[in-house]
Structure 1
Amino acid sequence: MTTLSVVVPVKDEEEAIGPFVAQVAAVLDGLRDPAGAAERWEILFIDDGSQDATLAAIITANLADPRIRAISLSRNFGKEAALSAGLEHAVGQVVIPIDVDLQDPPEVIAAMLARWREGFEVVYGVRRNRLTDSLPKRMTADLYYRAHNWLSMDKIPEHAGDFRLLDRKVVDVINRMPERNRFMKGLFAWSGFRQTSVEYDRVERKVGQTKFNYWKLWTLAIDGITSASTVPLRVWSYLGAGIALISLLYAGFLLVRTMLFGVDVPGYASMMTAILFLGGMQLLSLGVLGEYVGRLLVEAKHRPIYVVRDEIGAPATDMDAMKMDGA
């Protein structure tokens, strides 16, 4: 019998808790191992500093079914930190991160579990299409995946989100990673192991509203690239060398022209264009350098990735022990 931990980061999702639990619990109850026995499971919510009645809705669900539990964080630390908390507190042999909006259909879990039993340690969900997203989001998402995989040695699967199945050995490796600036899809890719995919169709969100906007997605994209690659730093060395070479060639051209035709007065427009261009390049390079220095500062502080305020419910292993003791 396998223990499955479904990890669900949430923030201000009081309306979505009930429908999510009803649909996911029904799917999990229907899972069977090769011998035909029902699988053991838990749903672990990570309340990432919700300001509404999200935690109260989770407590209500826990009272109805003790297999539903939660970790409540002391404030909003962000989805990557909340997902890290979920991986550290999950007890299952397999761990499945999923969003509460049900756009990633939980019915796919059965297919993921089948591939895991074939020997794969990571089974990630890949969207067949992104028709539920707006055209600008589809275009920027495609551009980001291409840029990330071009810049980084750790290739992330295109159009794959956090929805995936992780074997316990993969989770243990990720939990040992000490960095504070966390881009989970990059960590999943870096960990290696045998990986495969399961395709599915994403559906429209039926309850609540997304908490992501374009600024948050942009910030996440920057975090993803800077955490996985030093190419943005290295490129300025090559760019600087190229500009220096062009400048040297231009200086040689001016020298030859002056010797042949005499001295002339350079134009104001060309001089200002060169100054503004080089000044803009310098500021841009300082901005890229600042991104990396800021991340070094966060790592040097060595603060916790998250802080737990409260825990609701007992892990599946504790509940099993209580049943064996006759509690």
Structure 2
Amino acid sequence: MEYTFLGRTGLRVSRLCLGTMNFGVDTDEQTAFRIMDEALDAGITFFDTANVYGWGENAGLTESIIGRWFAQGGQRREKVVLATKVYEPLSDPLDGPNDTRGLSLHKIRRHLEGSLRRLQTEHVELYQMHHIDRRTPWEELWEAFEIQVRTGKVSYIGSSNFAGWHLVKAQSAAKERRFMGLVSEQHKYNLLERLPELEVLPAAQDLGLGVIPWSPLAGGLLGGRALSAEKGARTSAISERAERHRVQLEKFSALCREIGESEANVALAWTLANPAVTAPIIGPRTVEQLRDTLRAVELQLGKEVMRELEAIFPGPGGETPEAYAW
């Protein structure tokens, strides 16, 4: 496994981030334990979750599974750089009228306490805003996060699903308070979704934020089986989306066969080649899927392969304004 710094911080993280969104949903607890054990054995030390994972009435289940895994001992917790998120409602009757999306100081305090309890830990290394809150002022947001950092419950603050100008505004408000502000931005980025190259990635890189791509396989479309998936509850939506990209995906598969690498690993290696990227999030549902993705870190794509990928999945034309002006 390779390691890099998380943005401009001195914290080192693995270049693959273990996503846990499937735990408790498509992956049972014992399999989740095996995945986390094998990930740690393989050198993946960066784990990402969210307080809402488990979804609906089961929101928080994923964090609880991770907490029970930590509780097994073996210095599991000490070895992991743990990231979780806050923003979504948790269907908690005690939240009352605040059981809505958002990032009030009140909600951040309550939901962090809940996450720590479920995760069976006293702190998290990276606490992320799951989405931009256009209602709550930055003065309140940074006050909320400063409290948690000062008390040692949180080490660093990150964002997710922010626009480029949101990142700039957040950092400007933090600077006025002499607070470190954001250290990372978790964003949807893959070969089929390259719009972040216009502004989000350049803004993050300029501000010293590590970009953590979520859905680097485009929800399974770049995993190599989307066009041949059997119809089912999980695969029907993927199959429909795959048909819209059939020509691209067929060319992509042909290229991967030519170089002797799996589609998933090529897609992950492509994201890793971007200097703005810290670690793409992998979300294995099985131990076998985890093992298959480890090759991505050591896979170096040559210039010709990168050019062919650019031809198959053209980007937006560079950064703004040159992408559409001069």
Give TM-score, length-normalised by structure 2. 0.29
More helix by percentage: 1
Which structure would you say has the larger Rg?
Answer: 1
Q: Choose between structure 1 and 2 for higher RCO, CA contacts under 8 A separated by at least 6 residues.
A: 1
Give TM-score, length-normalised by structure 1. 0.29
